[in-house]
Amino acid sequence: MEARGRGGRKRPVSIVRDQGQYESVCGYCGEESTTRNRGMLADKLSHVHYQLLLDRMWRRCGKLLYRTDVEGYRWCCCPPYSIRVDANKFKISKRQKKALRRFRSYLNGEWEPRAGSGLQAAGDVDMTEAKQGQEGAAGKKGKGWGDCCQDCTKVQAACQGIWQECVLPAIQGYAAERGLGCDAESISQLAKTTRRANRKIEMGYAKDKGKHLKVFCSSVSFRLARDWGKALKSANEIAEGLGTFLTGNRIGFETLEKGGLGIRITGVEAKSGFLNFVANLADEDSLSCSCERNGGKKKKATQHNAVEEGPPKRTLTMEMMPSTFLQEEYELFCRYQQSVHKDKENDVESYKGFLVETPIEYESVQGCSSSSRQSNRDSPPSVHMPCEIPAFQGYGAFHQQYRIDGKLVAVGVVDVMANCLSSKYFFWDPDYAFLELGKISSLAEIDFVKLAHREQRGLHYYYQGFYIHTCPKMAYKADYKPAELLCPTSLTWVNFDEGLRQKMKQSQGRMLVLAESGFQGLYQDEEKRCAQLVEEFTRLGDLKCMLHDKFVLFRSLLEWAKGDYKEMLKIQAGKWMASCGSEASSGMIYKLA
**CB-CB contact of 221 with 233 (8 Å):** no
Please give the pLDDT value at position 209. Answer: 62
SS (H, E, C) 431-463: HHHHHCHHHHHHHHHHHHHHHHCCCCCCCCEEE
Q: For residues 478 and 365, state if they share a domain.
A: no
Task: Give the list of residues 6+ apart from residue 472 with CB closer than 8 angstroms, or none.
Answer: none
Q: For residues 96 and 164, state if they share a domain.
A: no
Which of 351, 316, 323 has the alpha carbon at shortest distance from 422? 323
Q: How many CA atoms lie within 13 A of 492 on its CB side?
A: 9
Please give the pLDDT value at position 178. Answer: 78
- The reply to whether 344 falls in a domain is yes
Task: Render pLDDT for 41-70 as a digit per residue (tens, 0 to 9).
Answer: 999 999 999 999 999 999 999 999 999 887
Segments forming the whole domain that contains residue 126: 88-136+313-466
Per DSSP, which regions of 62-141 are E strands?
64-68, 81-86, 111-113, 127-129
Compute the residue count for the chain.
Answer: 593
Domain count, the chain: 4
User: What is the DSSP-derived secondary structure letter of residue 183?
Assistant: -
Vertex 460 angle, CA 457 and 64, to 5°: 115
Q: For residues 205 and 267, state if they share a domain.
A: yes
Bridge partners, 194 (sequence order)? 218
Please give the pLDDT value at position 413. Answer: 98
Please give the pLDDT value at position 448. Answer: 97
Please give the pLDDT value at position 120. Answer: 41
Which of 574, 515, 500 has the alpha carbon at shortest distance from 543? 574
- The reply to whether 453 falls in a domain is yes
Helix axes 232-249, 168-178, angle to 10 degrees: 110
- The reply to whether 537 falls in a domain is no
Task: Render pLDDT for 532-554 as a digit per residue (tens, 0 to 9).
Answer: 888 888 889 999 998 888 889 99
Spatial distance between the Cα atoms of 224 and 235, rounded to a whole number of angstroms: 7
**CB-CB contact of 171 with 165 (8 Å):** no
Strands 14-25 and 588-591: parallel
Spatial distance between the Cα atoms of 73 and 207, rounded to a whole number of angstroms: 63
- The reply to whether 161 falls in a domain is yes
Please give the pLDDT value at position 376. Answer: 47
- The reply to whether 141 falls in a domain is no
Which of 95, 125, 129 has the alpha carbon at shortest distance from 302? 129
**Greatest Cα pair distance in the chain:** 108
Among 292, 323, 339, the domain boundary falls at: 292
Q: For residues 331 and 212, state if they share a domain.
A: no
Please give the pLDDT value at position 161. Answer: 82
Please give the pLDDT value at position 409. Answer: 97
Q: For residues 486 and 390, state if they share a domain.
A: no
Q: For residues 271 and 412, state if they share a domain.
A: no
User: What is the DSSP-derived secondary structure letter of residue 28?
Assistant: S
Q: Where are the alpha helices (DSSP H) in 15-129?
A: 47-54, 72-75, 94-107
Q: For residues 456 and 478, state if they share a domain.
A: no
Q: For residues 390 and 401, state if they share a domain.
A: yes
Q: For residues 109 and 67, state if they share a domain.
A: no
Strands 550-553 and 588-591: unpaired
Tally of CB atoms within 10 A around 443 = 20
Mean pLDDT, 10 residues at a time, the chain of 593 residues: 49 88 79 82 95 94 90 81 96 93 91 58 38 34 44 74 84 81 69 82 73 80 76 73 83 72 80 84 54 44 42 86 96 94 89 96 72 48 88 95 96 96 96 93 96 93 93 88 90 90 84 52 64 88 88 90 88 91 91 73
0.75 cut: is pTM over it?
no
374: CATH: 3.40.630
Strands 81-86 and 59-61: unpaired
**CB-CB contact of 114 with 457 (8 Å):** no
